Amino acid sequence: MRRSARLPACTLALLLPTCIDAAVAQPAQDGRVLDERQLLGMRLFNQSCRVCHTKPQLTSPLYGPELSQSSAGSEATMREVIANGTPRMPGFKYHFEPAQIDAIVAYLRTIPTPAASAPSAPR
């Protein structure tokens, strides 16, 4: 009995480093591997931006624009919007350091531009 209880623990100990390596080397949507700065940007985006800029479910509304590499034009414009906000979005200059805002911009540059959705038929 004791020997069979050790087997799962040993298996877990051997598989854990593999899982950690897989978590660190996250591929971008186009198959490239994200660097450390882009990974930080992804984590910060998931913590603070995802709630408004992605749909958690297909039937959920989207509160802000869907963000991608072509969202706001230049990187300087993206930094400005993230830091100072817009009339409908809060600014994050007191929440994030400039390097963290740069990381979010670097991550957004890895997200491909979404395909235009087909217009819905008139009712």
Could you give the domains of the chain? 26-108 (1.10.760.10)
Query: pTM for the full model?
Result: 0.68
Tokens standing for residue 68: 């991608």
When the pLDDT of each residue in the chain is averaged and rounded to a whole number, the result is 78
N- to C-terminal Cα distance for the chain? 67
User: CA 46: distance to chain centroid?
Assistant: 5
Biggest CA pair distance of the chain: 67
pLDDT at 2 over 60: no
Question: CA-to-CA distance for 10 and 1, rounded, in angstroms?
Answer: 15
Band (pLDDT 50/70/90 cuts) for residue 48 is: very high
Classify residue 12 as exposed, middle or buried by CB count within 10 Å of its CB (0-12, 13-18, 19+): exposed
pLDDT at 61 over 80: yes
Taking alpha carbons only, the member of 14, 13, 38 closest to residue 25 is: 38
Tokens standing for residue 108: 């957004």
pLDDT at 21 over 60: no
